[in-house]
Structure 1
Amino acid sequence: MTDSLPTEPQAAIAFVDSSAIIALVDRHDPTHEQALAAYHELVDEGYCLFTTNYVIAETLQLLDLSFGPDIARKWLQDHRLPVYHADEQDERRATARLSSARPDSRLSMTDAISSVVMDRLGVSDAFAVDPEFLSDDT
């Protein structure tokens, strides 16, 4: 990870999905206000937020496609989220999760990695505005 997660067991930790990041960046997103309120609530409640290198890559790509490379690069330079770097074990587990997903599942590799990392770290809270994020993904 770029920054470390707190080690004390009482620390509240939440995973941040790209859907929440995009909603925060895009003032015209229909979930922008909801995402902003949720972000402030998480911060006010003392949550430590983090994401994965896969989410960083996905967010960068989505920002580039929607707003252009300048906005995407600025976000990449300015974001302050601690980043957990998925390892080979995470990737193997995510691949297995994808392979066993329902045929109609829209589970992406990024979401599978997110789910695996949350499981590995014992994190049950996530900041996401995508209703499909981690919903019955198998």
Structure 2
Amino acid sequence: MVTIFVDSSGILALVDRDDPAHARVVEAFTLGRSEALATHAYVVVETLAVARRRFGPAVAADLIDRVLPAIEIAPVDATLHAAAIEAFRSTIESAVSLVDRTSFAFMRREAIQRAIALDVDFRTAGFETLPSEIP
């Protein structure tokens, strides 16, 4: 089964009906019915913090109860963390976050090529994004 990575930008657009990419992200998430969805623990931490701050505790709770169970959430082990820190440090002047560096290292390790992400940095890192048009 093919796996699609899920970034916090994709999850947040899924719950934000006012997001310009909302409908396309909903469509991308329907691929999860035939393809596995995966992310890592740092994305979950980032997503829940932003969701609670931006949309309130009810939306964060809904993510925990209804969205996250549909996504396989991998722990960030010491090896993955070290690879992400090394990549982050070597590009410290870049705007790419440590969470995104962790995502790229995770995707490479797991041979995942596609991500539900609205972040152009995923494309710059060589991955395909869903939806394909990033607003």
User: Which residue among 46, 50, 73 is the counterpart of 1:58?
Assistant: 46
- Identical columns (%): 32
**Post-superposition shift, 1:102?**
6.0
Correspondence for 2:96: 107
**Post-superposition shift, 1:136?**
4.0
**Post-superposition shift, 1:32?**
0.4
Aligned residues: 124
Amino acid at match of 2:116: F
Query: TM-score of the superposition, structure 1-length normalised?
Result: 0.82
- Which structure's CA Rg is the greater one? 1
Going from structure 1 to structure 2, the CA distance change for 1:134 and 1:61 (only over 3 Å counts) comes to: farther
Secondary structure class of the residue paired with 1:86: coil
The RMSD of aligned alpha carbons is 1.7
Going from structure 1 to structure 2, the CA distance change for 1:115 and 1:131 (only over 3 Å counts) comes to: same
Paired residues of 2:8 and 2:117 also in contact (CA < 8 A): yes
Correspondence for 2:35: 47
Correspondence for 1:3: none
In structure 1, what is the Cα distance between the partners aligned to 2:125 and 2:3? Answer: 22
Paired residues of 2:51 and 2:59 also in contact (CA < 8 A): yes
Which consecutive unaligned segments of at least 5 residues does structure 1 have?
Answer: 1-10
Correspondence for 2:83: 93
Query: TM-score of the superposition, structure 2-length normalised?
Result: 0.83
Going from structure 1 to structure 2, the CA distance change for 1:43 and 1:82 (only over 3 Å counts) comes to: closer
**Post-superposition shift, 1:130?**
2.0
Correspondence for 2:129: none
**Post-superposition shift, 1:70?**
2.5
Matches within 5 A, 1:1-138: 11-40=1-30, 42-43=31-32, 46-79=34-67, 80=69, 81-101=71-91, 103=93, 105-133=94-122, 135-136=124-125
Higher relative helix content: 2
Which consecutive unaligned segments of at least 5 residues does structure 2 have?
Answer: 127-135
